[in-house]
Amino acid sequence: MKIKYDPNADALYISFKQGPTAVTTIRLTEDVAIDLGLGEEVAGIEILSASEHLDFPKKDPKVKLENLHAT
């Protein structure tokens, strides 16, 4: 899993699959979308206006990992 944040776009993407994969995007709201891969497995989640929706500062966002290790 990889989490990428672009502070210029204020967009966050959580990727659950490695490498390129064909996806179908389902928009849940104007700012939140889920990418589904083969077998309707969740390939990724996109959140626009991320700092607003996830309540973190654009300049210094932090992620707390629980029962996970960063690489």
Q: Domain boundaries in the chain?
A: 2-54
The residues near 33 (Cβ < 8 Å, ≥ 6 apart) are 25, 26, 27, 45, 46
**How many helices (H) and strands (E) are present in the chain, helices listed first?**
1, 5
CB 19 within 8 A of CB 50: no
Q: What is the pLDDT of residues 59-68, one digit of tens each?
A: 888 888 888 8
pLDDT at res. 59: 86
pTM: 0.87
